[in-house]
Structure 1
Amino acid sequence: MTTLFLAEDQIMLNTTLTTILNLEDDFDVIASTADGKEALEKIRKLQPEVVILDIEMPQLTGLEVAKEIRSAGLPIKIIILTTFARECYFQEAVEYNVDAYLLKDSPSDYLVASIHQILTGNRVFSPELVTSVLRAEKNPLTKREMSVLAGLQTGASTAKMAEELFLSEGTLRNYISSILSKTGTHSRIEAINIAKKNGWIA
């Protein structure tokens, strides 16, 4: 019997998935939660064989929980469920060595089959997610430029951003100009929208 733990913040989906998985003769959902922080605490305590994590949850995201599981060296198989085909999420999932990365609207039998696949040592990624990421434009921005872009998202003033990033305002403006040039945009809002569209930022 394979022990499963489910973390999904949509209560109806949480209940539905728990019921479907428990119908399988070789699966046992030993607990579930709608909160990322609680999920991590229960996973550490219960040590399930497989965890199924929603990518966006209160307190901790599924990816943050996955990172903690891997950092702790726990021998747990990790499945990420998402509605978002974003490059930044996918890259993090690969970095944290998740075993499966699946779309929420995939058929339930695909989830069941994926669990069986990862238990035999395989990795499973929804084809739609992989295709979407491959079609997205490659991120041309440096890590520093991405930090500046994150600051632009907050709507902070140039002076405030410069202070937080330990840059002079002149240097910050140069970074912003480079971001606009590389993204082929004419405003900060356009640059942010392009980055979101291509999954470079959440």
Structure 2
Amino acid sequence: MSSCFVCDESIEPFIDFGPMPIANGFLTEDQLAAEPRAPLRVGFCAACKMVQLTELVEPEQMFHENYAFFTSSSAWMCRHFASLAETQVGRWLSDREDPFIVEIGSNDGSMLLNFAERGMRHLGIEPSANVAAVARERGVATDIRFFGLDAAKEIVDAHGHADLVLATNVMCHIPDLNGVFGGIAHLLKPDGVLVFEDPYLGDIIQKTSYDQIYDEHA
């Protein structure tokens, strides 16, 4: 990829880690010889200042029925999500009648569980079937799919517009940001709220946290 996936201007590579295996792609012994690899290079767009990978792995190779990370395995994240949910309820939802909350990249439902337990209408969008199945077992409504404008239109048709859209550590996983934000704009009510959290490049550089650079973080 030689053009920015946000503004379509040219990008300049500045770090090259060489060919790398797919992150979290744990293999059996029989699969080792044929392990797929992809270039891991980071580029900078001088036009819009976006830092991004210069080559992208197909999403289906990373988010699937064997996805390795379950949010509930991190006690810290569960505490953070409980606090974040409480803040959003108090700030945006407490005075709304029958609010509807959508989370993009909802994993095993650890965030939305805080809204489900309050009896609030909610929907998680999660492309990895194994973690989505756990969310459903926990009583969290979940669609197994990728999010975009088409998904947003179907959600609105089925459930109405959303009061709150959440995306925690998700936007950095999505190369088609224009498509995702187009979907969010369609999904939200006119007075709806988007809340998202993602790693900050300044912190990554300052703390030399280069493990944040891998194929899932586009």
TM-score by length of 1: 0.30
Greater share of helix: 1
TM-score by length of 2: 0.29
The higher relative CO (CA closer than 8 Å, separation ≥ 6) is in 2
Whose radius of gyration is greater, 1 or 2?
A: 1
